[in-house]
């Protein structure tokens, strides 16, 4: 009798986030996703984290839990650092104590946005606000706590789940004929479904050779291509119109005309060359994943979101 293939167990922190929900939605015969969040797992509570690791006994951990409200971070600095730095350190430390590698999510907001070209992993960080500072501190804490780490910086995440730009635009299009959208901030809309399949592929790569050094360190992981927020909105409405959904005219405005508590980087484009080289992935154009997400939200999709990993 041939023994059944053993599934590797992946502990995902932050079970209500977009990437965690996208991971849980994947059909992965070789990976068992165990996604936990509060009240069962509070990453700011070291004992809660250690109990969870002892109980779940994962083969690999994925930390998606984060304080992600960029503007609130300016006034709730203590909480942002408690989650994004100290909580990340707790997860990385607990994983290290069990000899467990960790995949940790970070952000384009660790950069100032002043560079005119896409950011590489080794470019100088320079966050403009509290959220970016807390996430950069989290990167440093994870690296210090667990040498077996892969830190994934991503940007402009959206999905059919939770609150995000795609859902906001579709909602506003049902209420207004025209919408003002910033056009001088540049980056890459990145589907949580793409990130979920990327994580699955990275996890397989790590588990196949956990002692290798090629997968360790920082990686930039976004979809293919780039745009600005106004261009993102226009593509959402183009895809919605094709499916008979809500649409609106987009009026481009400047960052100065759209006041927020936190300053955003004007350039959030990330160079994914290292990710492509190590993991052998060619991300799909961002427009393709937007089409799939809009199709899902409008009930008309072929369910092809994600990367081929």
Residues noted as catalytic:
131
What is the rounded distance in angstroms from the CA atom of residue 162 to the CA atom of residue 167? Answer: 8
* DSSP H helix total and E strand total for the chain: 11, 12
* Residue 243: CB atoms within 10 Å: 14
DSSP state letter for 48: H
Residues 6+ apart with CB under 8 A from 175: none
DSSP state of 110: G
72 CB-contact burial (10 Å; exposed 0-12 / middle 13-18 / buried 19+): middle
Residue (of 267, 244, 246, 266) closest to 256 by Cα position: 266
What values do phi and psi take at 190, rounded to 5?
A: -130, 120
What span, in angstroms and rounded, lies between the C-alpha atoms of 151 and 14? 16
> b/e map of 249-280 (b: 16 or more CB within 10 Å)?
ebebbeeeeeeeebbbbbbbbbbbebbbebbe
């Amino acid at each position: 009798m041939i023994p059944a293939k053993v599934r590797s167990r992946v502990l995902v922190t932050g079970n209500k986030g977009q990437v965690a929900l996208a991971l849980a939605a994947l059909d992965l015969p070789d990976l068992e996703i165990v996604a936990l969040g509060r009240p069962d797992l509070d990453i700011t509570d070291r004992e809660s984290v250690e109990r969870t690791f002892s109980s779940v006994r994962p083969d690999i951990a994925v930390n998606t839990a984060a304080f992600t409200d960029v503007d609130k971070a300016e006034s709730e600095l203590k909480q942002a650092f408690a989650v994004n730095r100290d909580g990340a350190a707790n997860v990385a430390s607990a994983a290290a104590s069990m000899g467990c590698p960790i995949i940790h999510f970070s952000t384009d907001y660790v950069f100032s946005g002043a560079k005119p070209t896409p950011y590489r992993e080794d470019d100088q960080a320079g966050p403009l606000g509290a959220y970016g500072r807390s996430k950069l501190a989290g990167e440093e804490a994870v690296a210090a706590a667990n040498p077996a780490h892969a830190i994934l910086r991503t940007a402009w995440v959206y999905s059919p789940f939770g609150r995000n730009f795609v859902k906001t635009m579709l909602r506003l299009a049902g209420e207004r004929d025209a919408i003002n959208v910033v056009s001088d901030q540049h980056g890459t809309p990145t589907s949580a479904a793409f990130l979920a399949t990327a994580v699955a592929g990275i996890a397989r790569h790590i588990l196949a050779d956990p002692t290798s050094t090629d997968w360790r360190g920082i990686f930039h992981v976004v979809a293919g291509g780039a745009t600005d927020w106004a261009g993102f909105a226009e593509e959402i409405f183009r895809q919605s119109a094709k499916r008979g959904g809500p649409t609106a005219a987009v009026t481009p405005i400047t960052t100065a005309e759209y006041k927020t508590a936190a300053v955003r980087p004007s350039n959030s484009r990330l160079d994914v060359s290292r990710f492509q080289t190590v993991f052998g992935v060619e991300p799909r154009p961002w427009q393709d994943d937007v089409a799939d997400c809009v199709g899902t939200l409008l009930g008309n999709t072929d369910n092809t979101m994600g990367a081929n990993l």
